[in-house]
Chains A and B, each alone.
Chain A
Amino acid sequence: MARKCRIDIVEMVHKAGAGHPGGSLSAIDLIVGLYGTGFRFKKDNPDWQDRDRFIMSKGHASPAVYSILHNLGVITKNDIDGFRTLGSICQGHVDMKWTDGVDFSAGSLGMGLSFGLGCAIAAKMDGSERNIWVMIGDGETQEGQIWEAAMAADFHKAGNLNVIIDRNRIQNDDFMEVQMEIGDIGNKFESFGWKIIEIDGHNMGEIVEAIEEATNERSLPCAIVAHTIKGKGVSFMENNPAFHGKAPNDDELKLALEELS
């Protein structure tokens, strides 16, 4: 599944001539792991009120989300072929107004964890068991609003809220250590009262175990710090800041597809 999604990601970004392959490829194993581990949703009824929520806060990694929705049969090949074109349901950044199966309109970093907290508080008010999952980037933790939400999740005892941090160490301009290194993210969330699980974000066994552990933890919000490699799966994109927001050219696509086949 993850391999199929990776192929979708590089093809989608190549066809559009724009997009964010690096952070999509670093995140995709985690997303596949999440959807494959009891994530409650109905592909024929994406608005089902009691579904679990997946809030992709790093909304520029939209190809990762579209690829899983495509491979699960929620959206079509035709839909992902339209990525970033006028009128397409696959907008540049994930948008709940446009795409079935998308739970949040992202694109401006730092907002998704707060949105997820709102979903989590509402679920608790409703007495619902639904789980709320938020994915953020490590660079995204530079936004102050992340820490407002981290503080409030503990205060509101949002044990149904989980965040997956895609710790790929690269942001738009360069490596985080050059731009603004955040340090021990797990430690920081822990100091706000969260339970921390640190994993290799490309090891499916660790991913599934972490998701199950976070799901079963109902008293504390959980943060899964997933150590990942930006551009994972395509050698020339791996750990390369240039492919944060750049499409592969024809030759690069060919090379990428050879590696992914």
Chain B
Amino acid sequence: MSAPSSGGASRDGYGSALLKLSNDPRVVVLEADLGKSTKSCLFRAEYPERTVSMGIAEQNMMLVSAGMASSGKIPFASTFAIFTERAFEQVRNGIARPGLVVHICGSHGGIHTGTDGSSAQSIEDLAIYRTIPNMTVMHPCDDLSAEELTLQLLDHGKPSYTRTARNKVPRIYDEETVKGIKIGKGNIIKDGNDVAIISCGVMVNEAKIAAEKLENDGINACVVDMHTIKPLDGKLIDKLTEQCGCFVTVEDHSIIGGLGGSIAEYLSKNKPTPVEMVGVNDRFGESGGTKELMSHLNINSDAIINAANTVIKRK
């Protein structure tokens, strides 16, 4: 099996983390015929005796993982984000409800799935897993942070869902800065006080580009990588409410129930503050190139700039 591709696809980080976790004999890996895509194939190539092939049967995979967790293993089970959803009730009833520590990775999340079209574009995964008690929900932005957060899952002690992405994006972190990230803590990529742009996954890069352009217009934006959607870093939101007074949320996900939804819930309960959401606007995607689609669905740096200008006026 080939080594991780260079660059910053978060799925590569998941694969390399599994290899690093192999030192712990409790770690087992489960696949549903998509190991080459989710990158669990890297573990399988080295440790076939600890890799469990489930075939194209996601519901079975989730409960086999649960059974293994109940027997002292730490299972990492992956497939495409959209196909984890097929086993949503299995995750809910079989994993989270008894609090069994299974780590699920849904790769190819969002519209960044290549040109397969809407059937493969999970734009609701973050929302649905966030509703389940006991679940940690993450969406890292590049390979290095995906690796770091996956490594931290070893001692996490709770079931989790991590969405990774197919496509490479410019790295947000380097080997040093990535050591500072922690599950459950948002990370300020660029500080600023006019507007807080909270993003996750591949959209962190778009947020960064938008902030640079806004800077040229004299708007000083703060950019946050909110890699953990649940538990949400409320302390950071409180700080940014004081510091910036308005928010733009950015995700390759439906604007309903995901990162934007969770921040809106938090703010409306604690300190109502203007929010504009950039995300897939309650519709399905379609086939197309990544850039074309992002533009078509209005989830790129231009959309973030527009949202920032709008929300600042609402302050």
Binding site for B on A (CB under 8 A): 49, 95-97, 103-105, 107-108, 110-112, 114-123, 125-126, 144-145, 148-149, 151-152, 155-156
Contact = CB atoms under 8 A, between A and B. Distances in A.
Interface stretch (B54-62, B221-229, B271-279): B54-62
Chain B at the A interface: SS class:
helix
Interface in B22-69: 28, 49-50, 52-55, 57, 59-60, 62-69
B63 A145 contact: yes
A148 B57 contact: yes
B70 A116 contact: no
B90 interface: yes
B63 A115 contact: yes
Given A97-B97, A111-B59, A118-B63, 17 more contacts: A49-B71, A49-B72, A96-B98, A108-B89, A111-B63, A111-B90, A114-B94, A117-B60, A118-B67, A121-B64, A121-B68, A122-B67, A126-B71, A144-B59, A148-B59, A152-B54, A155-B53
Interface string B116-136: 000000000000000000000
A120 B73 CA distance: 12
B190 to A, nearest CB: 44
Interface string B66-83: 111111110100000000
B94 A115 contact: yes
Nearest to A122: B71
Contact of A95 (B59, B62, B65, B98): B98
Given A96-B70, A118-B66, A118-B70, A125 B28 contact: yes
Contact of A118 (B53, B59, B65): B65
B55 A122 contact: no
A149 B93 contact: no
18 contacts: A49-B72, A95-B98, A97-B99, A104-B70, A105-B93, A114-B60, A114-B94, A115-B63, A115-B70, A117-B60, A117-B63, A118-B66, A120-B67, A121-B67, A122-B67, A123-B71, A125-B49, A149-B60
Given A114-B59, A156-B52, A105 B94 contact: yes
A65 B163 CA distance: 38
Contacts of B90: 111, 114, 145
A121 B94 contact: no
Nearest to B71: A122
Nearest to B25: A125
B228 to A, nearest CB: 25
A115 B97 contact: no
B169 to A, nearest CB: 35
A149 to B, nearest CB: 5
Nearest to A146: B60
B64 A118 contact: yes
Contacts of B28: 122, 125
Contacts of B70: 96, 103-104, 115, 118-119
Nearest to B59: A145
A261 B55 CA distance: 51
Interface string B215-235: 000000000000000000000
Contacts of A111: 59, 63, 90, 93-94
A134 to B, nearest CB: 10
A112 B59 CA distance: 11
Nearest to A114: B63
Contacts of A123: 71
Contacts of A115: 63-64, 66-67, 70, 94
A123 B70 CA distance: 11
A104 B68 CA distance: 12
Given A151-B55, A152-B55, A122 B93 contact: no
